[in-house]
């Protein structure tokens, strides 16, 4: 289809580039755009690829067979889940599938569940745990929806999702239909979230676009390319309210969340205004991002525009993929990180006064290095334990033949870690974060989990196609840390939604226990805090979703502390 | 009834023909941001100029001298812009009665027929024109556009390739053909054609600009930068070249970045072309980046004078007002943005459906009803008339009822059935 009038030319792509520009290194004059950078000592990151050594031999398939069907570009995700409560995070990986019209030879792609053996290796327990099935999988959310003490799985897909109940750590049972969350259409990221603080986890499911092989359309020039989402109508996200009896009710419309023009790929559940109710931030692909303020009564107010989160600095929607939020300046204000398409750069929407967010990605030094890449997974994680959340993004183009048509883009792209400089800016470590991060991949999901409980967050990268990467964090530093695990009693058992304030070494860090974030993936549900040089015990204040506030004093450092609601000293 | 119409139009906004006031120019580069004057009140929500729409339409209904073909074509063009495809078609057919072989008239008619989903008739006429003018680029492009509308993708590039072989290889032809390739996302052929044009006429202004735009769109800033430097040095009055160079100078992929120079170039582009909304949009962002928020506000204001429906303008102004501490003004602009965005956000659904089923009147009627509900009456009329053309007299489509309704809401003289 023809696109536009003459001399609007060049702007679709270039104007966003203008806005993505980081002034940190190139500002030439009057603007005051150069942030005051205070270099701080930072550990040399050392991530080592231990995938093969750990015994993980799974590969992701996207079913591509030459017709360039849109869903082939989108998956996939993975998660850390301690399904058997042995204290060590296990790994679940979501696969794509062959198209019925075009099966390949060999074994059909399936999900995978790897059990952590506590010695750096993992055992494939997929079949044993009842997960040996195939679907056009996208993402996964981990949460104990029935408060039985075992985390369950919700798998999103094209053509129907799966709720897999954890049967006491012995296996998973598909309860999607009786629970009423089979869903349909094309789901992407999902998150467990207690939207009404009733102690039961509800389920938010992102939906992307309406697509079937029959409605696939031709995009591109002389040869077919993968379409952009603008070619297809969107689907509304879904909110399933947990009825408490194993069943969920679709309350999307009642909650004020129905929006069939959104094309959602990422969901972040945080209480950005600290009013005690979890809000929803949704990254949309080619449509304005969504910000829903929780009114505290099970309904939401759309504050997308008024918050400034909807669009990029140029007032145009970008191609949002993954999303995460963090108090990355340790000043109590939120920064929302959104992965975008190539030539847009990531967005870092920083909270100002009055509930308005402005994109500070260029000032923070994130926009320019991410500019050439298609960023899917994004997350904050303090990988060097200095007490300041770092920004991690994983990139990969959608078109496997992009090199043929573009001289400046590549299908395989690097995963990037930006170390927090403690002044609102980040240092780009691309290519310098250890041997595990030197090889590009078709990046999609990213998650952190401390697989050996050594206090250094390890990384899981899930590509669109090919093997995942488990990156062991072998960074040497004298920094201290603490990991906190949460058990709700009046609140949901996972403690999702608990707002945590930790003070150590004169710095107060905040974070929220939550599901979702990143892209189609979920990290370790424990909270990890780097403590830098702070070597004394720490205090932790927790505001539980039930409304209860508790403070734990003198928690020991360099270890995990379990925090149970109602059990503070 | 009239009050209801006005209320509806104010609520939704007619997207066509808002009063085009000459915008205030951004201040000169040397001006201090703190001295920039903000308006006494923020820009109001878009309000359509209903009277202007009515008078323009009335002009299309006036009797014209039968032999004045240009007047017929101009009136047809206006009618088409106002969504009144039947009047446009009638005017073109009247012109053809006088001059049956008129190429511009037949070309316009073919275009109108294509836009109305009458592909067979459009193609027959376009092929006729092509047979008469086998070296004419526009004939090839018309056929490619019909193929595109019919979702016959391969045919598009067949026609463009045939055009390349058949047309006289003039600079103008090559540049125009390059533009069409670019618009159909074929950057390789587009670039090759501009290279061919520049071999014929090194330094040609249009060929350089076309090539630069292709390079910029394709992310090839290294090659685009010297080309645009050369172009602006030799043609300093070309506002598009100034704007494009400014965009390159602020792009992360560019080998050289210079925001101050970009700002100067954009201010010059705004001086040269006071009615280009894109320039105001870009310069506002540059000002914001340099924390010159009052200047940025002035540019967004100018942008909104040109296009009161601009989502970018409303959103940008909302942000800038917030940065200037004008919370109430900011909320007001964000609220207008949200209304405009809500109005627009379903449009892709209708467009995609029509793209898949271009000759099915039901999908045009779905869009027509939605546009009417949003106050875009001329847009609704165009879709309803398309539906009626596709299925004349069909009661099930409801097209005629919608046409009559739009006419009434627009305050036009009653539509005369049977004259379409």
Separation CA A53–CA A59 (nearest Å): 15
At A31 the pLDDT is 31
Burial of A250 (0-12, 13-18, 19+ CB in 10 A): middle
Alpha-carbon dihedral angle through residues B142, B144, B147, B152, given to the nearest 10 degrees? 180
At A176 the pLDDT is 97
Q: When comparing pLDDT for A104 and A423, which is higher?
A: A423
Q: Is A19 on the interface with B (CB under 8 A)?
A: yes
Side-chain half-sphere of B169: how many Cα atoms within 13 Å? 12
Select the residue of B179, B259, B355 nearest A29 (Cβ to Cβ). Answer: B259
**Omega before A76 cis (within 30°)?**
yes
User: What is the CA A332 to chain-centroid distance, rounded?
Assistant: 21
What mean pLDDT do residues A273-299 have? Answer: 95
Does the distance separating the beta carbons of A230 and B318 come in below 8 Å?
no
Of A65, A37, A136, A36, whose CA–CA distance to A94 is shortest? A136
At A27 the pLDDT is 29
Give the residue on B whose Cα is nearest the Cα of A3.
B183
pLDDT-derived band at B390, boundaries 50, 70, 90: very high
* pLDDT per residue as tens digits for the range A97-151: 999 888 888 899 999 999 999 999 999 999 999 999 999 999 999 999 999 999 9
From chain B, pick out residues whose CB is under 8 angstroms from the CB of A293.
Answer: none
At B36 the pLDDT is 78
Picking from B252, B256, B264 by the largest number of A CB atoms within 10 A of its own CB, the best residue to mutate is B252
Q: How many CB atoms lie within 10 A of CB A427?
A: 17
Q: Is the pLDDT of residue B124 over 70?
A: yes
At A42 the pLDDT is 62
pLDDT-derived band at A2, boundaries 50, 70, 90: low
Separation CA A362–CA A349 (nearest Å): 11
Q: Is the pLDDT of residue B357 over 60?
A: yes
Separation CA B167–CA B163 (nearest Å): 6
Select the residue of B251, B323, B337 nearest A18 (Cβ to Cβ). Answer: B251
Q: Is the pLDDT of residue A569 over 80?
A: no
From chain B, pick out residues whose CB is under 8 angstroms from the CB of A399.
Answer: none
Separation CA B211–CA A347 (nearest Å): 31
At B420 the pLDDT is 59
* pLDDT per residue as tens digits for the range A187-223: 999 999 999 999 999 999 999 999 998 888 888 777 7
Contact A18, B285 (CB under 8 A): yes
**Cα of A50 to nearest chain B Cα, Å:** 34
Percent of the residues in chain B that have a pLDDT greater than 70, as a whole number: 91
- What's the whole-model pTM score? 0.84
Separation CA A458–CA A452 (nearest Å): 9
Instruction: Please report the residues numbered 293 through 332 in chain B whose beta carbons come closer than 8 angstroms to any beta carbon of chain A.
Output: 310-316, 318-319, 322-323, 327, 330-331
Query: Which 8-state DSSP code applies to residue B370?
Result: H
pLDDT-derived band at B2, boundaries 50, 70, 90: very low
Of B297, B296, B258, B303, whose CA–CA distance to B278 is shortest? B303
Q: Is the pLDDT of residue A227 over 80?
A: yes
What mean pLDDT do residues B101-113 have? Answer: 96
Percent of the residues in chain A that have a pLDDT greater than 90, as a whole number: 77
What mean pLDDT do residues A11-21 have? Answer: 41
Residue A164 sits at φ, ψ, to 5 deg, of -115, 110
Cross-strand partners of A294? A300
Does the distance separating the beta carbons of B353 and A33 come in below 8 Å?
no
Q: Is the pLDDT of residue B372 over 60?
A: yes
Give the residue on A whose Cα is nearest the Cα of B153.
A218
At B349 the pLDDT is 79
ipTM metric: 0.75
Separation CA B208–CA B288 (nearest Å): 30
What's the first-to-final CA gap in chain B, in angstroms? 26
- Residue B302: left (phi > 0), alpha (psi -120 to 50), or beta? alpha
Select the residue of A18, A28, A407 nearest B260 (Cβ to Cβ). Answer: A28
Contact B178, B194 (CB under 8 A): yes
Length of chain B counted residue by residue: 420
Domain ranges of chain B: 68-167, 360-420
Of A257, A254, A129, A130, whose CA–CA distance to A191 is shortest? A257
Average pLDDT, chain A: 90
Residue A508 sits at φ, ψ, to 5 deg, of -105, 125
Of A173-182, A312-321, A348-357, B387-396, the range with the highest mean pLDDT is A173-182
Separation CA A206–CA A213 (nearest Å): 21
Cross-strand partners of A140? A155
At A209 the pLDDT is 94
Of A366, A338, A333, A328, whose CA–CA distance to A352 is shortest? A333
Cross-strand partners of A102? A99
At A1 the pLDDT is 65
Separation CA A347–CA A485 (nearest Å): 30
Q: In 3-state terms, chain B is what percent helix, strand and coil (to 5)? A: 70, 0, 30
Does the distance separating the beta carbons of A19 and B285 come in below 8 Å?
yes
Residues 6+ apart with CB under 8 A from A160: A135, A176, A182, A183, A184
User: What is the CA A305 to chain-centroid distance, rounded?
Assistant: 22
Burial of A568 (0-12, 13-18, 19+ CB in 10 A): middle
Of A11-20, A21-30, A483-492, the range with the highest mean pLDDT is A483-492
B68-167 belongs to which homologous superfamily? Tetratricopeptide repeat domain (1.25.40.10)
Q: Is the pLDDT of residue B7 over 80?
A: no
What mean pLDDT do residues B96-125 have? Answer: 96
Could you identify the residue written with the tokens 């964000």? Answer: B334
From chain B, pick out residues whose CB is under 8 angstroms from the CB of A311.
Answer: 311, 315
Residues 6+ apart with CB under 8 A from A185: A158, A159, A207, A210, A235
- Strand runs labelled E in A82-135: 90-93, 112-116, 122-124
At B35 the pLDDT is 75
At B25 the pLDDT is 53
Which tokens is A200 given? 């039961």
From chain A, pick out residues whose CB is under 8 angstroms from the CB of B212.
Answer: 10
At B31 the pLDDT is 60
Give exposure, A90-113, as e/b (b: 16+ Cβ within 10 Å): bbbbbbbbbbeeeeeeeeebbbbb
Could you identify the residue written with the tokens 């109590």? Answer: A332
Could you identify the residue written with the tokens 């202007």? Answer: B52
Separation CA A527–CA A484 (nearest Å): 5
Query: Which 8-state DSSP code applies to residue A295?
Result: -
Instruction: Please report the residues numbered 224 through 283 in chain B whose beta carbons come closer than 8 angstroms to any beta carbon of chain A.
Output: 240, 244, 247-248, 250-253, 257-260, 262, 278, 281-282
Q: Is the pLDDT of residue B166 over 90?
A: yes
Separation CA B102–CA B106 (nearest Å): 6
């Amino acid at each position: 289809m023809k696109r536009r009038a003459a001399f609007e030319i060049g702007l679709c792509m270039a104007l966003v580039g203008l806005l993505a520009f980081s002034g940190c290194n190139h500002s030439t004059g009057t603007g005051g755009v150069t942030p005051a950078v205070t270099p701080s000592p930072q550990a040399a990151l050392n991530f080592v690829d231990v995938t093969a050594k750990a015994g993980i031999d799974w590969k992701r398939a996207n079913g591509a067979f030459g017709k360039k069907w849109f869903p082939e570009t989108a998956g996939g995700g993975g998660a850390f889940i301690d399904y058997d409560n042995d204290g060590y995070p296990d790994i679940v990986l979501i696969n794509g599938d062959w198209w019925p019209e075009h099966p390949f030879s060999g074994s059909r792609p399936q999900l995978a569940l790897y059990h952590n053996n506590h010695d750096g290796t993992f055992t494939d327990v997929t079949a044993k745990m009842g997960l040996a099935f195939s679907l056009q999988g996208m993402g996964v959310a981990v949460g104990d929806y029935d408060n039985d003490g075992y985390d369950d799985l919700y798998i999103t897909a094209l053509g129907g999702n799966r709720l897999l109940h954890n049967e006491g750590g012995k296996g998973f049972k598909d309860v999607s239909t009786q629970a009423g969350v089979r869903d349909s259409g094309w789901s992407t990221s999902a998150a467990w979230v207690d939207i009404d603080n009733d102690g039961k986890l509800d389920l938010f499911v992102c939906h992307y676009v309406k697509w079937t092989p029959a409605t696939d359309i031709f995009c591109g020039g002389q040869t077919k390319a993968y379409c952009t989402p603008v070619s297809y109508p969107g689907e509304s996200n879904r909110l399933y309210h947990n009825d408490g009896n194993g069943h969920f009710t679709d309350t999307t419309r009642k909650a004020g969340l129905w929006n069939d023009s959104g094309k959602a790929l990422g969901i972040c559940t945080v209480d950005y205004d600290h009013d005690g109710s979890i809000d929803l931030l949704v990254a949309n692909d080619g449509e304005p991002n969504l910000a829903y303020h929780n009114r505290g009564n099970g309904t939401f107010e759309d504050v997308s525009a008024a918050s400034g989160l909807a669009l990029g600095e140029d007032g145009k929607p970008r191609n949002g993929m993954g999303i995460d939020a963090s108090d990355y300046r340790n000043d109590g204000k939120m920064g929302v990180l959104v992965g975008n398409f190539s030539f847009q750069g990531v967005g870092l929407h920083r909270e100002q006064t009055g509930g308005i967010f402005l994109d500070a990605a260029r000032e923070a030094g994130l926009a320019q290095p991410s500019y050439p890449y298609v960023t899917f997974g994004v997350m904050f994680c303090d990988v060097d334990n200095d007490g300041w959340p770092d920004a991690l993004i994983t990139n990969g183009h959608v078109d496997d033949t992009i090199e043929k048509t573009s001289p400046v883009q590549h299908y395989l792209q690097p995963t990037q870690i930006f170390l927090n400089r403690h002044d609102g800016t980040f240092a780009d470590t691309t290519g310098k974060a250890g041997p595990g991060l030197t090889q590009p991949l078709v990046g999609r999901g990213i998650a952190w989990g401390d697989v050996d409980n050594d206090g250094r967050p390890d990384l899981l990268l899930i590509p669109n196609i090919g093997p995942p990467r488990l990156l062991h964090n072998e960074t040497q530093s004298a920094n201290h840390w603490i990991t906190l695990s949460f058990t709700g009693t009046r609140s949901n058992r996972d403690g999702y939604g608990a707002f945590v304030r930790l003070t150590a070494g004169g710095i107060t860090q905040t974070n929220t226990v939550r599901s979702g974030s990143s892209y189609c993936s979920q990290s370790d549900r424990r909270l990890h805090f780097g403590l830098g040089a702070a070597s004394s015990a720490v205090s932790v204040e927790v505001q539980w979703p039930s409304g209860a506030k508790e403070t734990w004093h003198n928690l020991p450092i360099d270890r995990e502390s379990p925090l149970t609601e109602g059990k503070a000293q | 009834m009239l009050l209801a119409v006005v209320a509806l139009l104010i609520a939704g906004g007619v997207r066509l023909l808002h009063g085009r006031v000459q915008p205030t120019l951004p201040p000169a580069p040397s001006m201090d941001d703190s001295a920039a004057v903000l308006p006494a009140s923020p820009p109001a929500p878009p309000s359509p100029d209903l009277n202007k729409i009515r008078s323009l339409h009335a002009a299309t209904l006036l009797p014209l001298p039968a032999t004045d073909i240009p007047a017929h074509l101009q009136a047809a063009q206006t009618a088409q812009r106002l969504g009144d495809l039947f009047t446009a078609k009638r005017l073109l057919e009247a012109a053809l009665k006088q001059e049956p072989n008129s190429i511009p008239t037949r070309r316009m008619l073919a275009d109108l027929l294509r836009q109305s989903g009458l592909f067979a008739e459009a193609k027959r006429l376009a092929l006729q024109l092509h047979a008469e003018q086998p070296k004419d680029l526009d004939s090839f492009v018309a056929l490619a556009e019909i193929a595109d509308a019919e979702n016959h993708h391969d045919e598009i590039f067949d026609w463009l390739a045939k055009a390349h072989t058949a047309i006289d290889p003039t600079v103008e032809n090559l540049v125009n053909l390059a533009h069409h390739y670019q618009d159909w996302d074929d950057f390789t052929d587009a670039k090759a054609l501009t290279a061919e044009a520049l071999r014929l006429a090194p330094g040609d202004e249009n060929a350089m600009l076309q090539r630069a735009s292709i390079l910029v769109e394709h992310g090839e800033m290294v090659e685009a930068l010297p080309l645009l430097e050369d172009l602006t040095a030799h043609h300093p009055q070309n506002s598009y070249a100034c704007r494009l160079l400014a965009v390159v100078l602020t792009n992360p992929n560019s080998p050289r970045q210079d925001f101050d120079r970009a700002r100067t170039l954009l201010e010059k582009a705004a001086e040269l072309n006071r009615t280009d909304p894109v320039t105001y949009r870009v310069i506002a962002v540059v000002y914001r980046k340099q924390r010159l928020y009052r200047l940025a506000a002035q540019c967004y204001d100018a942008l909104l004078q040109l296009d009161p429906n601009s989502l970018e303008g409303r959103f940008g102004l909302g942000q800038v007002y917030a940065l200037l501490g004008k919370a109430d003004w900011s909320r007001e602009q964000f609220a207008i943005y949200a209304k405009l965005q809500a109005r627009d956000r379903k449009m892709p659904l209708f467009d995609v459906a029509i793209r898949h089923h271009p000759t099915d009147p039901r999908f045009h009627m779905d869009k027509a009803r939605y546009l009417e509900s949003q106050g875009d009456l001329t847009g609704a009329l165009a879709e309803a008339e398309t539906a009626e053309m596709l299925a004349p007299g069909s009661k099930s489509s409801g097209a005629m009822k919608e046409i009559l309704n739009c006419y009434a809401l627009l305050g036009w003289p009653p539509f005369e059935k049977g004259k379409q």
